[in-house]
Amino acid sequence: MGNGGRLMDRREFLKSLTGAAASFCLGASVSCDRGKPAQSASTMPNIVLFIADDLGWKDLSYYGNSNITTPNIDRIAAEGMLFTNAFVTASSCSPSRASILTGQYPHSNGVTGLTHVRKRLMLSPFHRTFPELLAKSGMETAFEGKWHVAPYFPTGWYGYRQRLSGVLPKDFLIRSSERAVEFIRANRNNPFYLELNYMDTHRDDAGEFHFVPQFPVDADTISVPDYYTLPDWPEVRLDLAKYYSNLLLMDSMIGTVLDALDRNRISEKTLVCFVSDNGPPFPGNKMTLYDRGMAVPLIFRWPGKIEAGTRSNALASTIDIMPTLLEASGIPAPESAQGKPLLRLLQAENESAFREAVFAEMTYHVNYLPMRAARTRKWKYIRNYSDDPVGLDQCSHMAWARKICELPNQGWLRPRAPEELYDLENDPHEQTNLVADPARLQDLAAMRHLLDEHMRSTRDPFLGKSFDQRQ
């Protein structure tokens, strides 16, 4: 599970084909030597990062879900700060996770689609990641679970000294907290970074969820959340109940990790972050740039540094996680990082001027799905670069999912329009496209300009591309 030895310069390492082959088999730890540690490791906090897979924005009870109770993740929120307006950079696993690690938008770090499908899109080992910078500053770094950023490259190239789970996809599912608890015990006297990537709320390879016997959920006692914008049909509720059952399993395992921090008396010096990689795996949610696809739960807990039970309404992006964790550790963020540290918000400073807008994008998921979005507090503007339908992803085999697409507001199998504009204050579920409304021409022009400026400043290759009518 662990990797010993010095951290090598990855350029030096890649010159040796023999060494590369060996490290691929062994998961050897490799990292660039980019200077002296910014501060003594003894003054750095421990960091635990929980990343959920396909977990919806408001699916936790602390975010208002009355269908179930998630006591352990709720505990993180009750003892820390919850962000009510946090967004991913892409509503797809690989691009979203690469943005968390690099602090960059997908078109900047090159991970613009699912990397197990398009291997050429795997994150280059020459990109800086925050686990690498933490490791170079003296932290013991480890991860367990899903590795979807560069699944065919060794994780040591990205700063992880230890890999607590196997290298095959069948080993990505975390089945218990045993290894995480042991890692915490073994490193309780030294600063560490532990990343836990749960897959429980992701559908299996057949596109299904299955009930977890220890966590039953009665489909007849729940309702489909309004923000999903799906009909409250029995078939949808049954699928949702299975999804919730798996969410409760993840919540339980997170509770075991939190208990281990308490038992080893290091909770007070541990920064905990919880986030999801995109919206829930239901039609019209994941893979879209509506709020239900790009908005995610984001929670930080750091006793003595973050006031318990606080909320921030600031517009936050998951590219902010990298600079936030580095700043908390006393490490300067690299110039390549495009996010902003959230520590000032975490310490209750003014949030209104933090950010005017967040931006998100899609280029590929499994299929080509090019779009870009700008989101302010009031407006959402989506620019589609082709009319390719969003599709149903892993729900495409389900009769109820295809039946849903016959409804007027469920056009996931129909061609997309070139542009979309939504008034989030009056239409939070983004049901009425105002692009053709003459009264909104000025607002449309402003949002177009906002997105263009973002694309120009980040050198997005889609800037200036025309709409491709392929259907």
From 346, 376, 394, the end of a domain falls on 346
d(CA 138, CA 246): 36
The answer to whether residue 12 sits within a structural domain is no
Which residue(s) pair with 162 in the sheet?
Answer: 2, 142
pLDDT at 470: 78
Same structural domain, 326 and 362: no
The answer to whether residue 387 sits within a structural domain is yes
Per-residue pLDDT for 1 more than 60?
Answer: no
Per-residue pLDDT for 371 more than 80?
Answer: yes
- What is the domain-level CATH number for residue 416? 3.30.1120
- Domain of residue 236: give its range: 44-346
The answer to whether residue 159 sits within a structural domain is yes
Mean pLDDT, residues 237-261 taken together = 98
Same structural domain, 233 and 377: no
Residue 286 confidence class, pLDDT cut points 50, 70, 90: very high
Residue 5 confidence class, pLDDT cut points 50, 70, 90: very low
Same structural domain, 155 and 297: yes
Same structural domain, 201 and 312: yes
Per-residue pLDDT for 10 more than 60?
Answer: no
Residue-wise pLDDT for 212-233, tens only, equals 999 999 999 999 999 999 999 9
Same structural domain, 122 and 246: yes
The answer to whether residue 109 sits within a structural domain is yes
Residue 25 confidence class, pLDDT cut points 50, 70, 90: very low
Total of domains in the chain:
2
Same structural domain, 61 and 111: yes
Percent of the chain at pLDDT > 70 equals 90
Same structural domain, 436 and 321: no
- What is the domain-level CATH number for residue 260? 3.40.720.10
The answer to whether residue 62 sits within a structural domain is yes
pLDDT at 347: 63
The answer to whether residue 420 sits within a structural domain is yes
The answer to whether residue 195 sits within a structural domain is yes
Residue-wise pLDDT for 158-196, tens only, equals 999 999 999 888 899 999 999 999 999 999 999 999 999
Mean pLDDT over the full length of the chain = 91
Hey, what are 89's tokens? 């950079």
Same structural domain, 279 and 364: no
Same structural domain, 333 and 377: no
Same structural domain, 286 and 173: yes
From 324, 346, 368, the end of a domain falls on 346
Residue-wise pLDDT for 94-130, tens only, equals 999 999 999 999 999 999 999 999 999 999 999 999 9
pLDDT at 39: 56
Q: Which amino acid, one-letter code, is at 343?
A: L
The answer to whether residue 351 sits within a structural domain is no
Same structural domain, 147 and 108: yes
Mean pLDDT, residues 265-283 taken together = 98
| Cα–Cα distance list, 170 to 158, 430, 470 (Å) | 21, 37, 36
From 346, 376, 407, the end of a domain falls on 346
pLDDT at 350: 67
Per-residue pLDDT for 22 more than 80?
Answer: no
Same structural domain, 218 and 282: yes
Per-residue pLDDT for 436 more than 90?
Answer: yes
